[in-house]
């Protein structure tokens, strides 16, 4: 594909620039403590930014724009393992050749952003790659948005129009769907909508009960039946995260999802899977593919790792003209990166039982097992997750202990984030470029930090 201007001179400079940037970034290949002389720079900028934003940050973090693979440099000169990746965005790690190239290619184009009115080649190319990746399902169309929340709003509008006036929505307890006015009602955590009026009708049912897995299907189906009993069949759709991210990675089994989806189909209720966080991060490109649910999905939303966001839907759900629009598809650099990322992941050895993602999951779980049965016995009561989405509990799993642990872990060189409430878990959204030597180092830091936090 020709992107923007090209000439021998540009190509020569492009190649030189690409390798010079990569060579410089590759120097960030190990963790390092802060530089005494730079600590003040970070503190001052953060303080000023906090006053501009009107609120403090959880970590004293501001990036320099330098980093490579799992490593990121901060303004205080420290280099850390980034195991949260902007809450799941940077699956390929820092300064991946795909990211550098996508930015340089975008610089040869004449504008910054692509939109819906006058199209460019980038959204067209990315749509083809994405729809090719879902071809075993009935999903036929893809609509770009600029955030996961907005791709969910688009999903809801499409479903509402199709099922009008049946506007009620089924969601799951502990779910997270984003920050838009509609999605704050789909999100289970009430603290995220304090003082807000209720704007849409959502009913939450229990997700997979891993503590009583034998009865999990019955528990959810009974709650679903109860909804119909109470409200009649006034539902347009059921929305679900197959791997509940903000809940600390709660997920069910293939049989569980099939039973729920069969129930929905029986009642003429559409199935909308929110893969904003799980897209590309499990042992198949989509979590619904990993659970073999291709035949059921009517709408799927994605974001984060794509470096853009959007909504897949079936032919029958294609909305009437006028319902969905908007200025932006995304930036040219983002759409370039999205296309290259999906191709790279599809063509490389990342998915399936023998793929790199499963291998990373297995290695991390083995390390957690060794720690929780060895030097940290009784101090890591839970570890789990799937693919590159892993979590663990420290001590009593309270918010206070977990926050204390994560802040110490940050000081010791690893960036993580929390998920869930009662219990609260430490969450890792792993980048792919992790070597065995990195994993060994990560676990010796986790061990040291657990022992420092819990006596």
Nearest approach in angstroms of CB 446 to ligand PLP is 24
Among 85, 127, 220, 277, binds ligand PLP (CB under 6 A): 277
| For helices 332-347 and 121-133, angle between their N-to-C axes, nearest 10 degrees | 30
Nearest approach in angstroms of CB 279 to ligand PLP is 9
For CA atoms 57, 61, 65, 70, give the dihedral sign: negative
Structure tokens at 140: 């036929």
Q: Which residue is nearest to ligand PLP (CB)?
A: 148
Nearest approach in angstroms of CB 178 to ligand PLP is 3
Single out the residue of 190, 276, 194 nearest to residue 240, CA to CA: 276
Residues 64-93 that bind ligand PLP (CB under 6 A): 87
Among 73, 105, 185, 241, binds ligand PLP (CB under 6 A): 241
Please name every residue paired with 81 in a beta bridge, in sequence order, or none if there are none.
Answer: 71, 414
Residues 278-317 that bind ligand PLP (CB under 6 A): 303, 309
Report the residue number, 241 or 447, with the smaller CB distance to ligand PLP: 241
Nearest approach in angstroms of CB 186 to ligand PLP is 9
Strand 202-205 relative to strand 235-240, pairing:
unpaired
Provide DSSP, 380-403.
--EEEEETTEEEEE-TT--HHHHH
Q: Is 395 in the site for ligand PLP (CB under 6 A)?
A: no
Strand 202-205 relative to strand 139-145, pairing:
unpaired
Single out the residue of 295, 291, 275 nearest to residue 283, CA to CA: 291
Nearest approach in angstroms of CB 87 to ligand PLP is 6
Instruction: Give the binding range for ligand PLP (CB under 6 A) out of 57-65, 132-140, 269-277, 426-434.
Output: 269-277
Report the residue number, 237 or 309, with the smaller CB distance to ligand PLP: 309
Binding mask 22-41 for ligand PLP (x = CB under 6 A): --------------------
CA 3 from centroid of its chain's CA atoms:
29
Instruction: Give the binding range for ligand PLP (CB under 6 A) out of 147-155, 158-166, 342-350, 353-361.
Output: 147-155
Q: Is 245 in the site for ligand PLP (CB under 6 A)?
A: yes
Structure tokens at 53: 């934003």
Nearest approach in angstroms of CB 358 to ligand PLP is 22
Instruction: Give the binding range for ligand PLP (CB under 6 A) out of 141-149, 196-204, 311-319, 380-388.
Output: 141-149
Binding mask 168-187 for ligand PLP (x = CB under 6 A): --------xxxx--------
Q: Classify 42 as helix, strand or coil.
A: helix
Q: Is 274 in the site for ligand PLP (CB under 6 A)?
A: yes
Integer Cα distance of 380 and 378 in angstroms: 6
Report the residue number, 276 or 333, with the smaller CB distance to ligand PLP: 276
Q: Is 242 in the site for ligand PLP (CB under 6 A)?
A: no
Q: Is 161 in the site for ligand PLP (CB under 6 A)?
A: no
Cβ contact 97:22 at 8 Å: yes
Single out the residue of 82, 13, 86, 49 nearest to residue 305, CA to CA: 86
CA 326 from centroid of its chain's CA atoms:
23
Integer Cα distance of 296 and 289 in angstroms: 11
Q: Is 149 in the site for ligand PLP (CB under 6 A)?
A: yes
Nearest approach in angstroms of CB 406 to ligand PLP is 17
Report the residue number, 303 or 310, with the smaller CB distance to ligand PLP: 303
Number of chain residues interacting with ligand PLP (CB under 6 A): 16
Other C-beta atoms closer than 10 Å to the C-beta of 289 total: 19
| Widest distance between CA atoms in the chain | 70
Cβ contact 333:303 at 8 Å: no
Residues of this chain that bind ligand PLP (CB under 6 A): 87, 147-149, 152, 176-179, 241, 245, 274, 276-277, 303, 309
């Amino acid at each position: 594909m020709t992107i923007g201007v090209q000439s021998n001179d540009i190509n020569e400079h492009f190649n030189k620039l690409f390798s010079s940037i990569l060579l410089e970034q590759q120097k960030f290949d190990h963790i390092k403590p802060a530089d005494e002389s730079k600590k003040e720079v970070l503190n001052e900028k953060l303080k000023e930014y906090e006053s501009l934003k009107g609120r403090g940050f959880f970590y004293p973090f501001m990036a320099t724009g330098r980093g490579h693979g799992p490593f990121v440099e901060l303004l205080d000169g420290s280099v850390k393992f980034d195991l949260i990746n902007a809450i799941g965005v940077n699956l390929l790690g820092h300064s991946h050749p795909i990211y550098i190239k996508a930015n340089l290619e975008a610089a040869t184009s004449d504008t910054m952003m692509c939109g819906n009115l006058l199209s460019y080649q980038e959204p067209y190319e990315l749509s083809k790659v994405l729809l090719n990746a879902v071809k075993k399902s009935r999903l036929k169309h893809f609509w770009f948005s600029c955030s996961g929340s907005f791709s969910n709003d688009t999903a809801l509008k499409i479903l509402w129009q199709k099922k009008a006036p049946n506007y009620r929505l089924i969601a799951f307890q502990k779910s997270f769907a984003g920050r838009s006015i509609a999605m704050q009602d789909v999100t289970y955590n009430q603290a995220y909508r304090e003082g807000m009026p209720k704007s849409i009708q959502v009913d939450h049912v229990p997700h997979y009960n891993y503590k009583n897995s034998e009865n999990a299907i019955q528990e959810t189906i009974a709650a679903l039946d109860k909804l119909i009993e109470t409200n009649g069949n006034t539902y347009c759709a059921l929305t679900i995260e197959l791997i509940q991210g903000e809940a600390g990675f709660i997920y069910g089994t293939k049989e569980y999802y099939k039973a729920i989806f069969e129930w929905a189909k029986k009642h003429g209720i559409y199935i909308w899977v929110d893969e904003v966080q799980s897209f590309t991060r499990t042992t198949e490109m989509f979590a619904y593919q990993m659970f073999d649910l291709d035949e059921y999905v009517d709408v799927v939303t994605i974001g984060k790792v794509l470096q853009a966001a959007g909504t897949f839907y079936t032919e029958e759900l294609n909305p009437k003209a006028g319902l969905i629009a908007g200025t932006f598809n995304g930036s040219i650099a983002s759409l370039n990166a999205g296309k290259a990322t999906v191709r790279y992941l599809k063509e490389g050895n990342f998915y399936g039982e023998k793929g790199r993602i499963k291998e990373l999951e297995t290695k991390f779980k083995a390390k957690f097992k060794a720690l929780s049965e060895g030097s940290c016995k009784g101090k890591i009561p839970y570890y789990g997750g799937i693919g590159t989405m892993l979590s663990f509990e420290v001590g009593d799993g309270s918010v206070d202990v977990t926050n204390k642990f994560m802040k110490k872990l940050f000081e010791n060189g690893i960036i993580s984030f929390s998920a869930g409430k009662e219990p609260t878990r430490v969450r890792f959204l792993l980048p792919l470029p992790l070597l065995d030597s990195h994993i060994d180092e990560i676990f010796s830091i986790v061990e040291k930090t657990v022992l420092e936090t819990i006596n």
